Amino acid sequence: MPNTFLLTRLFTLLTLFLCTTAHARLEIEISGGTEAALPIAVAPFQWQVKGSAEEELHSIISADLRRGGLFRPLAEGDLPERPKGALAVKFDKWRQAGMESLVIGAVSANTEGYQVEFQLLDVVSGKQLIGYSIPVRKDGLRRVAHQIADLVQERLTGIKGAYNTHIVYVTVVGSNPKKRRYRLAIADADGYNEQIILESREPLLSPTWSPDGERLAYVSFESGRSNIYIQSVRAGSRRLVASYPGINSAPAWSPDGRLLAMSLSQDGNSEIYVKDLSSGSLMRITNNYAIDTEPTFSPDGSRLYFTSDRGGKPQVYQVEMNGIRAVSRPTRVTYEGSYNARPALSPDGKQMSMVQGEGNTYRIAVMNLDSGRVRVLTRSRLDESPSFAPNGQMVIYASEVGGRGVLEVVSVDGLSHQRLRVDQGDVREPAWSPYIGK
Amino acid sequence: MPRRSDDGLAFGVALLLHVGVIALFSLNLSPEERPKPVSPPPAIQITAVSAETVDVQLDTLRERTRQEQQRREEAQRQVEEQRQAAIEAKRKAEAERKAAEVQRKAEAEARALEAKRKVDEERKEAERKAAEEAKRKEEERKSAEEAKRKEEQRKSAEAKRKEEERKAIEAKRKEEQRLAEQEEQRRISEMRAKMAAEEQARQAAEAATKQREYDRRMQRALAVYLADLTNRITGNWLRPPGFEKSIRCQVVVRQSTNGSVLSVNADECSRLGGDAFARSVEAAVRKSSPLPLPDETDLFDPEIAITFTTD
């Protein structure tokens, strides 16, 4: 009787478990989980150099990770301990603080500057996930911090970090129109280390990075009319690439960097053209009485997206490309909302950011090109000029606060918003750099 | 020769005496004491001669003797008469003496005899009586015996009959009892079989009920346990955000009896979802340690397969 019972019991359990494998064991399914920012703590790096710490690396890393939206770094005041090295870490404390990961590090001096060591610890399992020792020049501490954030993020999320990248933007300085200056500036992705690469009394517009991150194309009114220039980031040298009659605007690089799409009004109204930068040949893509502008290539170069009001209101259209030539008639891409403009594609080509207008408000939206689903990411009144980070994780855009332009970064899920610190002026027209030197 | 006459006389006298004795004897035969008719004549045969017959014979004899004697007496009577007379006288005296003697003797004898006879008779009578008594007694005894025997026989027969009857009754009773017992036995075994069947059915029903209850309890406990596990781990699973891939992979978790996570094998998740994804599921499991335990210890399994899916 007991044996039969037991057998029946086992059988029952087997049946209950719906065990497909021969080995009888409990099987459960966890679906979804919480796709939330991961808890992480970045402990202050030990400063093992004479003098006080020049940079708070842990703060830079935390800010990066928070801005990216994938992490929820523990506030510095909530850190349960400040461990001196991995061996001193009391994992229990960090677990109790709800952490999954902990970054610790130290900065020491070397002959050329500093040696920055850091370790990413899994406090749940008590194991080290990654550890690096990075030599850096004296002025490179912030960059190392961004690199560490990139490494941490990639290890913990599988998504390549884009913290050690740059942004370009235009600032307007001076309230008096006569003394007003337009500056083309490059900064770290967190807004620090701003460098002015061009200053002009006339408006500067639409800066955009070449795919290799070595050059910038932009529109300058310095000659009194709109021209398109390409400028080397490092050398500062530049050349005029579009000075056609009428408006020359909205330059956009092809993925291989050999073509530059633009909007020209040489034929009366704005049309999309593509110019071969080496041969100088120009190919007209659109031919419509409406305004066609703001072209942008898909990452594989097979499509060109642009804004057109041929349907009455601005909407995003696309045309299939073969090199410099269009091989299809334009088709409409956006339908949701009465105003969709300024398309920019994510590096994987699956998402498209744009400005979505509704009445007097303009917000940044992201459209999934597969599903057509549109998600509005921002909630300000005048958001514009969205640009994807090279990992597709974040979008930088210009917003307006108190009549002054500011830069903000939003994660593509819309959960994380962060305003970048910019030294001064009215900031607009940001563009995120690609990965440089890789 | 004279002797002969003497003898003859003597003889006659003797005869007479005898006859007389006999007669006497025979006379004495029929006294008042009559044989009891209860028993037939005994085996001893007494020849009774009637007195008349004897007298006739004696008369005949006497005639012939008288005539003879007359002739001879006549012849001799003269001679003889003297001598006779002397002798007679002598003889007479003698005879008288003798006769007296004889008579005395005879009387004595007779008395003795009579006494003896009487004794004998009395003895005999006594004997007879005793014999009779004995016989009677014997007969009585025999009869009693017989009766007893018969009674016994009867009794025996009766007893036998009764015994047989009893035996028959007993046999019948026994047979009845046997049948009854058989019936009872059959009834009992039938009842037992029925009871056994009922018991079996009851037990089966009970076992089925228990099994159902057990199954229900186990199912409930399992559902609760799986829900506990699922909730705990799901709550602790912070999936890397921005993870676009659709992943479905299994980790194998070994736990101690108190639910402490001993090991997490997330190789499949690492292969399919990358290191970051694998880390997140491993962290989800490890953060859930100690894992919830089932209410029913039967449900505990040291190894749990957890499928993580991003869908």
Query: Which pLDDT tens digit goes with each residue over B120-167?
Result: 777 777 777 777 777 777 777 777 777 777 877 777 787 788 888 888
Residues 6 or more apart whose Cβ sits within 8 Å of residue A151: A120, A130, A132, A161
Interface confidence (ipTM) of the complex: 0.71
Assigned domain for A50 exists: yes
Instruction: Identify the pLDDT of residue B205.
Output: 86
pLDDT at B23 over 50: no
Domain boundary pick from A132, A157, A182: A157
Same structural domain for residues A145 and A288? no
CATH number at residue A329: 2.120.10.30
| Residues of chain A with C-beta less than 8 angstroms from the C-beta of B306 | 27-30
Q: Average the pLDDT over each of A389-393, B69-73, B80-84, B93-97 and give the range with the smallest value.
A: B80-84
pLDDT band at residue B2, thresholds of 50, 70 and 90?
very low
Domain count, chain A: 2
Assigned domain for A153 exists: yes
Assigned domain for A2 exists: no
CA distance B261 to chain A (A): 10
Instruction: Identify the pLDDT of residue A417.
Output: 86
Instruction: Identify the pLDDT of residue A83.
Output: 93
Closest CA to B244 of A413, A249, A115: A413
Same structural domain for residues A282 and A303? yes
CA distance B242 to chain A (A): 7
Instruction: Identify the pLDDT of residue A181.
Output: 92
Q: Which of A39, A412, A413 sits opposite B238 (nearest CB)?
A: A39
Consecutive 10-residue averages of pLDDT for chain A (438 residues):
46 45 65 80 94 90 91 93 92 92 94 93 92 93 95 91 94 87 93 92 95 96 95 93 95 96 93 96 93 96 96 95 94 93 95 93 94 90 93 92 88 86 82 83
Is the minimum CB–CB distance between A34 and chain B shorter than 8 Å? yes
Assigned domain for A7 exists: no
In residues, how long is chain B? 311
CB pair distance less than 8 Å for A100 and B283 = yes
Same structural domain for residues A384 and A347? yes
How does pLDDT run across B223-241, given as a tens digit for each residue?
888 888 988 898 888 888 7
Rounded CA-CA distance B183/B178 in Å is 8
Same structural domain for residues A230 and A304? yes
Instruction: Identify the pLDDT of residue A32.
Output: 73
Instruction: Identify the pLDDT of residue B7.
Output: 54
Same structural domain for residues A173 and A78? no
CB pair distance less than 8 Å for A69 and B241 = yes
For chain B, give every residue range classified as CATH 3.30.1150.10: 237-309
Fold exhibited by the domain B237-309: 3.30.1150
Q: Which of A1, A23, A37 sits opposite B241 (nearest CB)?
A: A37
Q: Which of B207, B234, B304 sits opposite A26 (nearest CB)?
A: B304
| Residues of chain B with C-beta less than 8 angstroms from the C-beta of A27 | 304-307
Same structural domain for residues A71 and A218? no
Domain boundary pick from A157, A187, A221: A157
CA distance B243 to chain A (A): 7
Query: Mutation test of the interface with chain B: which of A11, A30, A157, choosing the one with the most B Cβ atoms within 10 A?
Result: A30
Rounded CA-CA distance B198/B203 in Å is 8
pLDDT band at residue B79, thresholds of 50, 70 and 90?
confident
Rounded CA-CA distance A82/A284 in Å is 62
| Residues of chain B with C-beta less than 8 angstroms from the C-beta of A158 | 240, 243, 273-277
User: Which residue from A minimizes the CA distance to B227?
Assistant: A28
What is the 3-class SS of chain A, one letter each residue?
A: CHHHHHHHHHHHHHHHHCCCCCCCCEEEEEECCECCCEEEEECCCEEECCCCCCCCHHHHHHHHHHHHCCEEECCHHHCCCCCCCHHHCCHHHHHHCCCCEEEEEEEEEECCEEEEEEEEEECCCCEEEEEEEEEEEHHHHHHHHHHHHHHHHHHHHCCCCCCCCEEEEEEEECCCCCCCEEEEEEEECCCCCCEEEEEECCCEEEEEECCCCCEEEEEECCCCCCEEEEEECCCCCEEEEECCCCCEEEEEECCCCCEEEEEECCCCCCEEEEEECCCCCEEECCCCCCCEEEEEECCCCCEEEEEECCCCCCEEEEEEEECCEECCCCEECCCCCCEEEEEEECCCCCEEEEEEEECCEEEEEEEECCCCCEEECCCCCECEEEEECCCCCEEEEEEEECCEEEEEEEECCCCCEEECCCCCCEEEEEEECCCCCC
Same structural domain for residues A55 and A124? yes
Instruction: Identify the pLDDT of residue B27.
Output: 46
Is the minimum CB–CB distance between B241 and chain A shorter than 8 Å? yes
How does pLDDT run across B251-278, given as a tens digit for each residue?
999 999 999 999 999 999 999 988 888 9
Instruction: Identify the pLDDT of residue B50.
Output: 56
Is the minimum CB–CB distance between B278 and chain A shorter than 8 Å? no
Assigned domain for A182 exists: yes
Task: For chain B, positions 33-52, list CB contacts with chain A under 8 A.
Answer: none
Same structural domain for residues A140 and A178? no
Half-sphere exposure of A144 (CA within 13 A, CB side): 25
Same structural domain for residues A205 and A341? yes
Is the minimum CB–CB distance between A6 and chain B shorter than 8 Å? no
Assigned domain for A366 exists: yes
CB pair distance less than 8 Å for B305 and A26 = yes
Range of the structural domain that residue A84 is part of? 38-157
Same structural domain for residues A403 and A291? yes
Assigned domain for A12 exists: no
Assigned domain for A24 exists: no
Q: Which of B243, B276, B301 sits opposite A155 (nearest CB)?
A: B276
- The backbone region for A414, taken as left when phi is positive above 0, alpha when psi lies in -120 to 50, beta otherwise, is left
Instruction: Identify the pLDDT of residue B38.
Output: 53
pLDDT band at residue B41, thresholds of 50, 70 and 90?
very low
Domain boundary pick from A99, A127, A157: A157
